[in-house]
């Protein structure tokens, strides 16, 4: 946080600084819960509320969507099956590649661990959405980043938000309200990624060299 503006290379954004800029999004989440019980929700299912850890040596966007963007990030409020709101920060990547992916979650006294993309062929995903409560990285590089963008102005595709708390496995969704704070970029590369997440979804998820078993946390 003590870095000066001149210390950041052109075309790069320090992840720590991005997190600081996103602080207003975190602060507005409490108001969203109290006043509207709604927020942006691209993961249209009720989350369990059990957090899991995701790490990757590298995450890179590999294409853009109809809006010409390869990365979106914004504050959201997810919901458990009983309607309990859970504040998150949501990252959306239309096309992604990940190397040495690891995911772990506590199952009683044991830890369930999944690894993939660690044998020379990366994991690939389309329309990847991750809702997380924390994220850290060794470094992050963004192309054509816009911070403070109105996330309710996109149409190809349009982003979605909950229209109600929902129940059971599903959450009803509708258009993101105009004026929703967020950031976008045409491309992103994140090295030494580590995040604590509550929900992930993707249109497709290809996991080369997949291994699942009980072991240590990621």
Reduced to 3 states (helix: H, G, I; strand: E, B; else coil), residue 32 is helix
pLDDT band at 41 (very low <50, low <70, confident <90, very high): very low
- Residues 52-69 have pLDDT tens digits of 999 999 999 999 999 999
- Residues 133-146 have pLDDT tens digits of 999 999 999 999 99
pLDDT at residue number 26: 40
Whole-angstrom Cα Rg for the chain: 17
Closest CA to 61 of 90, 91, 15, 96: 96
Decide: 58 and 189 in contact? Cβ < 8 Å: yes
As a residue count, the chain comes to 218
In terms of residue numbers, what domain contains 15?
Answer: 5-214
Sign of the dihedral defined by the CA atoms of residues 64, 65, 68, 69, in that order: negative
pLDDT at residue number 96: 97
Note the pTM of the prediction, 2 decimals.
0.79
Overall average pLDDT of the 163-170 stretch: 68
Based on the structure, what is the number of domains in the chain? 1
What six digits make up the tokens of 112?
């369930």
């Amino acid at each position: 946080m003590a870095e000066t503006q001149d210390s950041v290379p052109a075309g790069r954004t320090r992840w720590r600084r991005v997190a600081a800029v996103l602080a207003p999004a975190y602060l507005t989440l409490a108001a969203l819960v109290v006043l509207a019980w709604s927020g942006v929700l691209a993961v249209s299912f009720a989350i369990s509320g059990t957090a899991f850890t995701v790490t990757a040596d590298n995450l890179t966007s590999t294409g853009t969507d109809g809006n010409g963007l390869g990365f979106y990030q914004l504050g959201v409020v997810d919901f458990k099956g009983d309607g309990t709101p859970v504040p998150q920060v949501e990252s959306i990547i239309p096309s992604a590649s990940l190397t040495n992916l690891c995911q772990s979650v506590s199952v009683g006294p044991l830890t369930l661990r999944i690894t993939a993309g660690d044998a020379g062929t990366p994991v690939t995903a389309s329309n990847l959405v991750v809702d997380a409560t924390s994220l850290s990285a060794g470094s992050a590089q963004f192309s054509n980043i816009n911070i403070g963008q109105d996330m309710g102005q996109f149409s190809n595709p349009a982003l979605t938000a909950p229209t109600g708390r929902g129940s059971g496995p599903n959450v009803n969704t509708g258009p993101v309200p105009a004026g929703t704070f967020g950031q976008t970029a045409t491309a992103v590369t994140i090295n030494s990624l580590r995040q604590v997440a509550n929900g992930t979804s993707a249109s497709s998820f290809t996991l080369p060299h997949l291994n699942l078993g009980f072991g240590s946390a990621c």
